[in-house]
Structure 1
Amino acid sequence: MANTYTQVYIQIVFAVKGHQNLIQPKNKETLQKFITGIVKNRGQKLLAIHSMPDHTHLLVGLEPNISISDLVRDVKPGSSKFINESDWVKEKFNWQVGYGAFSYSRSQIDNVIKYINNQVEHHQKRTFQEEYIDFLNKFNVEFEEKYLFDWIEG
């Protein structure tokens, strides 16, 4: 778009359906590369990505030619199909319905990248559920906990 200048940084977070630990460490890098390809093919800049066994974080420099929901609509089904075709899990793989999207200023980007890259350390101290609710509270997002995710207990 001529004469359109933007600087939009969005962290996108989404979970495996049922909060199951289905992303195995041996497949993590391949999945991250696949998702990176989807983001780049949509003309967006991926600044950080980290997939945990039960969820994924992306930090995207979002261009104005796509909405956040359209990008997520490409990433989640595309990566689900890839995982299923790769036979990484016995049952059918799906991401949970919905996602979180949180915006940042340029001055915060280095810290957000460090945060995403250090997911393993963060989750030694707190669960994904605790992390996600903390994000919603930190960004003053109104929510009803019963609608967040289908948590599988145990």
Structure 2
Amino acid sequence: MNTNYKSNNNVVYSCKYHVVWCPKYRRKVLVGEVETRLKKLIQDICGELQAELIELELMPDHVHLLVEVDPQFGIHKLIKAIKGRSSRIIRKEFPSLTTKLPTLWTNSYFVSTVGGAPIAVIKQYIESQKTSQRR
């Protein structure tokens, strides 16, 4: 397995997440100019917060994001920033959305860690540490 690790002052990490979230009422509003603008906003916000945007795909009624985030910053802070800022800007730039939706996004989202070794391999590695240290 070839994993590229990142580091900050005191943590070496590889924390990749698959995140999915939807517009309020799962309305199909992420199309055309809204889609284009939202992609740019998400790229900009990830860049500002030093999160590596690995993949981004917008469907008319949901967003898929694959991103690597410093664990000390946290995925929850990144998603809160993306959803909050993008909602405010998109609704300001596209006033027609304000009549369809009280807010752009639902409060919830799906997140799952991705990559790395299977649990069994990691478990075996940890278990073998005690015996390898004795040698």
**Count of matched residue positions in the alignment of Structure 1 and Structure 2:** 107
Does the Cα contact within 8 Å between 2:22 and 2:109 map onto a contact in 1?
A: yes
Q: 49, 59, 67: which is aligned to 1:52?
A: 59
Shift of 1:101: 0.4
**Is the 2:34–2:90 contact (alpha carbons within 8 Å) kept by the matching residues of 1?**
no
Matched, 1:61 2:68: yes
The answer for the alignment partner of 1:15 in structure 2 is 22
Letter in 2 for 1:10: Y
Shift of 1:106: 4.8
Which of 78, 83, 89 is residue 82 of structure 1 equivalent to? Answer: 89
Whole-Å separation in 2 of the counterparts to 1:48 and 1:88? 28
Q: Percent identity?
A: 23
Q: Which has the larger radius of gyration?
A: 2
RMSD of aligned residue pairs (Cα, Å): 1.7
- The more displaced of 27-36 and 73-82 is 27-36
Equivalent runs, 1:1-154 vs 2, <5 Å: 1-87=8-94, 89-90=96-97, 91=99, 92=101, 93-106=103-116
Q: Which residue of 2 aligns with 1:125?
A: none
**1:32-61 Cα shifts (integer Å, max 9, x gaps):** 111111111111100011111111011001
Q: CA deviation at 1:88?
A: 5.6
Deviations 1:69-88 (A, max 9, x none): 11111010111111111116
Give the Cα separation in 1 of the matches to 2:26 and 2:14: 32
Which residue does 1:152 correspond to in 2? none
- Structure 2: runs of 5+ lacking an equivalent: 1-7, 118-135
Return the letter of the residue paired with 2:28: N
TM-score relative to the length of structure 2: 0.72
Shift of 1:97: 1.2
Q: What are structure 1's unaligned runs of at least 5 residues?
A: 108-154
Alpha-carbon distance in structure 2 between the residues aligned to 1:19 and 1:33: 21
